[in-house]
Amino acid sequence: MKPNLTAGLVEHLRGQISTGLIAPGDKLPSENALIAEHAVSRTVVREALTRLQAEGLVHTRRGAGSFALTPPPPETGAQARVPRTLAERRQLLEFRMGLESEAAAAAAITASAGTLSALDDALEAFRKAGTNASRSMSCDFDFHAAVAAGSGNPYFLDAVRHLGPAMIAMPLQRLKSRDSIPDSRLEQVATEHLGIRHAIASGNAMAAAAAMRVHLANSLHRLEVEAGVATPTP
């Protein structure tokens, strides 16, 4: 194996993912396609994919192929930790359960018209995004940021913004279905978001916190099902 060939393929694919030519959730070209396009061996392709997985740019599912993840933000002094492994994503969701449940409770206490309008806008945008993984992830994040903003506590909003869209356990594969048939996973998320919105609108802080906690616990379960370490809920 020639290291320079591997590095060249890594740089090429990294550039396509970072610039959005391969969008988050998109499937990368197959091993055979990469071999033919770049005139490299299968060993080079697999080593390149392994390096991109280590960088958190690619997720490979056995039997399905490799999919682009959300690129980490540019290096800054206050860069958020980007979860790369299943264990780190579990830890992030556990952290979010505490943080965002309290934010939802605080938002319910104020329950302002502005907060409800922002939540409704994010809900509508999420539904319109459909199975486009990049757009749905962005709208998902916007909903959670709106909850944090609605808390009236700037520290909640700062924490969510610092985590950024990478905190969302987005679908790694855009499911191919007709527009008239909603993707079941995205429909579950939309329903849970709507439940959070209604709980906040009710002014019931305990109900809002519980709705957020249930949503994030379900997100963790969906993540584990996707990773093959949990069974789907009947």
Does domain 3-68 fall into CATH 1.10.10.10? yes
What pLDDT is stored for residue 81 in this prediction?
A: 64
Which pLDDT score is estimated for 179? 38
Please, which residues bridge with residue 61 across strands? 65
In a structure prediction context, what are the per-residue pLDDT tens digits for the chain, which is 234 residues long?
Answer: 455 788 889 888 988 887 777 888 888 999 999 999 898 999 999 888 888 877 778 887 777 788 887 665 554 444 456 677 788 889 999 999 999 999 999 999 998 999 999 999 999 989 887 776 667 777 898 899 999 999 999 999 999 988 877 788 654 443 333 333 346 788 899 999 999 999 999 999 999 999 999 999 999 998 888 777 777 765
Determine the topology of domain 86-226 in CATH: Four Helix Bundle (Hemerythrin (Met), subunit A) (1.20.120)
Whether 86-226 and 3-68 are alike in CATH topology: the answer is: no
The predicted pLDDT at position 215 comes to: 97
Each domain of the chain, given as residue ranges in start order, spans 3-68, 86-226
CA distance 78 to 129: 30
pTM attached to this predicted model: 0.64
